[in-house]
Chain A
Amino acid sequence: MAAVSATSVTFGSSLKLLKSSQITGKASSLKMVTVGWTKSGFPSLRTSRFRVSCSAKPETVQKVCEIVKKQLALPAESELTPESKFAALGADSLDTVEIVMSLEEEFGISVEEESSQNITTVQEAADLIEKLVQKKSEA
């Protein structure tokens, strides 16, 4: 079993890893994961690509969800998870570009075109925002 660091936990497509931890009862590693997710809900285990990063603050994820909901005119009660894919929520390509624009305005950052290409979920957006905000404060 891979060593699990407290700051970031990354599972490749290793649902197996999670499963084995459950089987062997190594609940501690699972706990480390859930702590990072208390505000945003536990990510779906059904996704094969499962990237957990504790670096994105829950407030950031929350803000991203708000902006996405507004852009796509989703009801306030709708459940968004960090793994929610924009396209699955009904976003077309124009919506995605506008979401990125709103995030830029909201967080005072500038997203490179190449990076935008990789933003397909709430989590990816939040991670990129944190990275750019940090870079900005270091500049």
Chain B
Amino acid sequence: MALQLNHLSFQFHKFTSFSPPPMASIRSPTVFMASTLRSGSKEVENLKKPFSPPREVHVQVTHSMPPQKIEIFKSMENWAEQNILVHLKPVEKSWQPQDFLPDPASDGFHEQVKELRKRAKELPDDYFVVLVGDMITEEALPTYQTMLNTLDGVRDETGASLTSWAIWTRAWTAEENRHGDLLNKYLYLSGRVDMRQIEKTIQYLIGSGMDPRTENSPYLGFIYTSFQERATFISHGNTARLAKEHGDIKLAQICGTIASDEKRHETAYTKIVEKLFEIDPDGTVVAFADMMRKKISMPAHLMYDGRDDNLFDHFSAVAQRLGVYTAKDYADILEFLVGRWNVEKVTGLSGDGRKAQDYVCGLAPRFRKLEERAQGRAKEAPTIPFSWIFDREVKL
């Protein structure tokens, strides 16, 4: 988050154990999101070269979970099979992108495309900026599968491992894969966006990867994914609502269908963490506080299109303004998770555990207060060009 006063990024986002990131803009979600490298930031030796994608600022930490805890996840495999894999949909019952797109094998194809483009004309540029940003995020799926496979105790050791965890990760990836495919084809057919610039952004983003600061710990990892799935559920839900408001019912269905996948995934991930709270309340609450202190970094925070050095910040400012994903949502998600996992009622905690519990339980109100202040002081925002829409300008 570039607690970059310009924002959350608290990257939104993401939080920074010690190295103080640049101050947050209390106006945009980046207050809450992870830091990205900005020239002049003191934490990193390698200064950003011009015309190159941003890099993570923080020191990248690995294997912070004590190795004895790996046992916990081995012993959870049966439980995961009964309780987590059930949240996957069988492929035969799953929707496919083609279900929502003009049918190239039909005579009516051209007409269907014409209708799609007609509806897309009614959608404003700022909406497309957000939809494109979401699509690019989805298309960076390789990074997320990788991230799941960095986690100790649950990683897919061979690529075809038959542990419940590995089965989950591959099937989750397969379900998510449809999201990027569907949005990509829709955007391609719409004619409203510069596909080449979008494709370039995707290539940069997958090349950049991301470090969500989960440190190979499945505690941190599943807390992170719980947060993220809910965030994408909210985000796609909002793009669905806006599409409907602008008269594109088909696009609303697309976004809504993606959102319902995310909801199902959120259910699975939050269940895992709920179980961890049962098995190891102290470790889990400390992990929760740690992730929140570091701030949940948004998966696409390193996005770059070859032109805009602050692309993610600009994109998230528009997402904030349109109400697709806001600082308020960040606080809401945090509050939801605190409630979902009953963090206030957890007992048997160590001193550190109680501190973590207090921190986490008191955090959402602090964000809300910040956000209220920011809204009250919101200044007139500039309009800037986005290469994704042929450099047409959009208000931040």
Contact = CB atoms under 8 A, between A and B. Distances in A.
Nearest to A101: B373
B373 A116 contact: no
Nearest to B293: A92
B370 A98 contact: yes
Contacts of B6: 113
Interface in A49-105: 86-87, 92-94, 96-98, 101
A97 B23 contact: yes
Nearest to A98: B366
A114 B21 contact: no
B20 A116 contact: no
Please classify the interface of chain A as helix (H, G, I), strand (E, B), loop, or mixed, using the class held by over half of its residues.
helix
A110 interface: yes
B366 A87 contact: no
Nearest to A113: B5
A97 B377 contact: no
B16 A113 contact: no
A98 B6 CA distance: 16
B25 interface: yes
Interface in B342-396: 366-367, 369-370, 373, 377
Contacts of A93: 3, 10, 15-16, 20-21, 23-24
Nearest to B373: A101
Nearest to B35: A93
Contacts of B287: none
B20 A96 contact: yes
Contacts of B366: 94, 98
B289 to A, nearest CB: 11
A120 interface: yes
B183 interface: no
A24 interface: no
Interface string A95-139: 011100100000000100110110110000000000000000000
Contacts of B15: 92-93
A117 B377 CA distance: 17
B50 to A, nearest CB: 22
B31 interface: yes
Contacts of A101: 369-370, 373
Interface string B284-327: 00000000010000000000000000000000000000000000
B209 interface: no
Interface residues of B, number: 23
B16 A97 contact: no
B5 A114 contact: yes
Contacts of B22: 117
A124 to B, nearest CB: 12
B26 interface: yes
Interface in B162-179: none
A117 B370 contact: no
Contacts of B373: 101
Given A93-B3, A98-B366, A110-B377, A87 B25 contact: no
A119 B26 CA distance: 15
A61 B179 CA distance: 55
Nearest to B295: A93
Contacts of B20: 86-87, 92-93, 96, 120
Contacts of A86: 20
Contacts of A97: 3, 23-24, 26, 31, 370
A119 B23 CA distance: 9
Nearest to A100: B23
A122 to B, nearest CB: 15
Contacts of B27: 113
Given A92-B293, A97-B3, A101-B373, A113 B25 contact: yes
B19 to A, nearest CB: 8
Contact of B16 (A92, A110, A117, A119): A92
Contacts of A87: 18, 20
Interface of B: 3, 5-6, 10, 15-16, 18, 20-27, 31, 293, 366-367, 369-370, 373, 377
Interface of A: 86-87, 92-94, 96-98, 101, 110, 113-114, 116-117, 119-120
Given A93-B10, A94-B24, A113-B23, 14 more contacts: A92-B16, A92-B293, A93-B3, A93-B23, A94-B366, A96-B20, A97-B3, A97-B23, A97-B31, A98-B370, A101-B373, A113-B5, A113-B27, A117-B22
24 contacts: A86-B20, A87-B18, A92-B16, A92-B20, A93-B3, A93-B21, A94-B24, A94-B366, A94-B367, A96-B20, A96-B23, A97-B23, A97-B24, A97-B370, A101-B369, A101-B370, A113-B5, A113-B27, A114-B5, A116-B5, A116-B23, A117-B5, A119-B23, A120-B20
